Structure 1
Amino acid sequence: MIWSKGMLDGYEVWTGRTEVMEMVVVPELGSRVISLSNRMTGREWLVQPAGVLETNGYASSFGSRDGSGWDEMFPTINVCRYPAYPWEGTELPDHGEVWSIPWEAHSEEEQLHCSVQGIRIPYQLRKTYSFPREDTLRIDYAVHNSSPFPFSFLWAAHPLFQIDEGIEIIVPDELTEIIVSYSANGRLGEPGGIRTWPQPWEESPHIRLNRTDSRFAATAEKFYFAGELPEGTASIYDPVAGEGLRMMFPMEKVPYLAIWANYGGYQGQYHLALEPATGLLDDLSYAMGRQAAAEVPAGGTYTWYLEISWIDGQKKEVKSFDRQ
């Protein structure tokens, strides 16, 4: 069996397993993935919970979380008010609604199906986990809009990866600029500022954003690559261990990519997130005002997917010709 159900800290957990990959999800805790591990090397890629699993109240601060696991950010990241009729003025919570409320889950035909209903806007978000290959986890997403009005949203994956200094961040070669969303102590400048990737300051060549820094660097930054992506792929690679992981997603449905790099500068935590996203920057109202948010038509459904595959030393080059 690929999927098995168990209990952890009083919560139902589902484990999916192949010969080389294992993941664990907790539906009641916002359908959070708490483990993504390579069974061949023994490497756990996600930051592990600091203690027992705990629930967070609806519309609570995401900063009260322990900085572990993988959550879904939907339908916004920053707190904002929905700007359009008929939900105009409706406040959407910090990091969205779905990370802090229970999801339904069941397995069927080697797939795990998870779903959740919106609270302040009438949508249903579904995701289906499967393993199309032994070394690949696939998540198929669908947002259904049950209302008679179009609904815009911002979704971003938020996997907090365990890292060491010197991990390489690999994105398409065509990406040369970033837009600052957050920078602790203003190292990258003000939000909305444009910087060069991967070297943001010509006068400071030691600052390179495509490699992880030390846990003692005391920096924390969130930025998006400027404009829509030339292809839907992003990877991280550990040159010391000779292994990494690659994300692939449909750029026509998920046209943006963000990076959250926390090297001790936010709550003393140390992790990295690659965040494919359907909208630009973290505020849904901002994205909608710039026609840079996804939209589900009245009564319609918006679908996309995300695949994660292992990279070994022989497959480090993840260029466009390498895509499947």
Structure 2
Amino acid sequence: MTTSLEQGYLVKGLRTDAAELRMVPELGGRVISLRRLSSGREWCWHQPHPDWLWRNGPGDSFGASPQAGIDECVPTVAPCRVGDRDLPDHGEVWFQCWELEPEALARQELSATVRLAVTPFQFRRSIRVGTDGAFLFDYALTNLGDRPEPYLWSFHPLLTLESGDRLDLPEEVRSLRLNGGLGVTISQGDVWAYPEPFPGVRLDAGELPGMPGACLKGFAGPLKTARAGIVNGLTGDRLELAWDGSTLPFLGVWINRGHGGFHHLALEPCSGAPDSLLDAVESWRQYRVIPPGETVRWSISVSLS
């Protein structure tokens, strides 16, 4: 376990022989660094200026956040109105101040439980080091209400994009169903072939038509093989995600090639699709429901090599 400061914020970390993870509890439990020690490769993207961390509050647009590293999106990603509830942009936990559990810290785990304000959910995340040296993210979501509640959850890692990087997705991924984009002409629900939707445009290489200045979000699934990675053919650096596809059947793929001046990727295991819970319920019909008083659990393994 490590403790440090970044721009005045407390940072807690986990370290193995091969890699280091650092997170900021005060900023929604945001993981700000995933670094391979032997090569120095930093996988967590952040804005290229000295003051790249700051606090946000309820009602803030995610676009006005640091947009750095890994945060958590629940019970929606896109803002929407479901029933009589207005669900905020990127959900209800990324802007909250998390308090780490002392008992878990003593076990070398980074654990926190967060109550949601709009929906009757309690969210818990714990990060620990597995026996294989991977970082294990363990989750629990509890419905504290008195009726069944639909939800979306999405892992939300903004990852650096370097020369030689290539997406490594399961062989079964032959297309992406699109959810949105800028700088490219699409309609929601369009299906693009993967990895080459147009001659000479390779999504697996992080390429988009219209770049620079274009970004795109699409979904693959339901998947039989629940894994995804990025490998660099020049350096050999590799990031690998693995999870249980019975709980998280979809993978969101985000590619930003210059929108806002940023270049990054995201591989987003998720419980449903698309980003809006309203659309997931009413249009795509890909979402999960938790009965009253019950808890669902899932895990993601993050490996660096």
CA-CA distance at 1:178 after TM superposition = 1.1
Q: Distance in 1 between matches of 2:50 and 2:84?
A: 37
Partner of 2:274: 281
Partner of 2:184: 186
> Are 2:67 and 1:67 aligned?
yes
Partner of 1:51: 50
Query: Counterpart amino acid of 2:212?
Result: A
CA-CA distance at 1:18 after TM superposition = 1.2
> Are 2:69 and 1:101 aligned?
no
Query: Counterpart amino acid of 2:276?
Result: D
Q: Distance in 2 between matches of 1:306 and 1:134?
A: 14
1:98 match: secondary structure: coil
> Are 2:270 and 1:271 aligned?
no
CA-CA distance at 1:285 after TM superposition = 1.2
Please say if residues 260 and 273 of structure 1, whose CA atoms lie closer than 8 Å, have aligned partners that are also in contact.
Answer: yes
Could you report, residue by residue, the CA deviation over 1:65-118 in whole angstroms, capped at 9, with x for unpaired residues? Answer: 243211111110111112xxxxx2200001111111111213131212122110
1:259 match: secondary structure: strand
Q: Distance in 1 between matches of 2:148 and 2:3?
A: 37
Q: Distance in 2 between matches of 1:217 and 1:9?
A: 31
CA-CA distance at 1:160 after TM superposition = 0.9
Gaps of 5+ in 1: 83-87, 312-324
Please say if residues 16 and 24 of structure 1, whose CA atoms lie closer than 8 Å, have aligned partners that are also in contact.
Answer: yes
TM value normalised by structure 1: 0.87
Matches within 5 A, 1:133-282: 133=131, 135-187=133-185, 189-201=186-198, 205-213=199-207, 217-225=212-220, 227-264=221-258, 266-282=259-275
CA-CA distance at 1:8 after TM superposition = 3.0
Q: Distance in 1 between matches of 2:67 and 2:9?
A: 19
> Are 2:294 and 1:300 aligned?
yes
2:204 match: secondary structure: coil
Partner of 1:19: 17
CA-CA distance at 1:48 after TM superposition = 3.1
CA-CA distance at 1:134 after TM superposition = 5.4
CA-CA distance at 1:21 after TM superposition = 1.2
Please say if residues 175 and 197 of structure 1, whose CA atoms lie closer than 8 Å, have aligned partners that are also in contact.
Answer: yes
Could you report, residue by residue, the CA deviation over 1:264-303 in whole angstroms, capped at 9, with x for unpaired residues? Answer: 0x21111100011111111101112243112211100010
1:308 match: secondary structure: strand
TM value normalised by structure 2: 0.93
2:100 match: secondary structure: strand
Matches within 5 A, 1:78-89: 78-82=78-82, 88-89=83-84
Query: Counterpart amino acid of 1:241?
Result: T
Could you report, residue by residue, the CA deviation over 1:188-235 in whole angstroms, capped at 9, with x for unpaired residues? Answer: x2111112111113xxx101111124996332111111x411111001
Query: Counterpart amino acid of 2:174?
Result: T
Could you report, residue by residue, the CA deviation over 1:14-57 in whole angstroms, capped at 9, with x for unpaired residues? Answer: 11111111111111111100111011221111113533321012
Query: Counterpart amino acid of 1:254?
Result: L
Q: Distance in 2 between matches of 1:129 and 1:92?
A: 26
Shift in alpha-carbon separation, 1:51–1:115, aligned structure 2, 3 A: farther
1:200 match: secondary structure: coil
Query: Counterpart amino acid of 1:104?
Result: E
Q: Distance in 2 between matches of 1:58 and 1:112?
A: 24
Query: Counterpart amino acid of 1:285?
Result: L
1:81 match: secondary structure: strand
Please say if residues 258 and 274 of structure 1, whose CA atoms lie closer than 8 Å, have aligned partners that are also in contact.
Answer: yes
Q: Distance in 2 between matches of 1:128 and 1:141?
A: 7
Equivalent pairs, count: 298
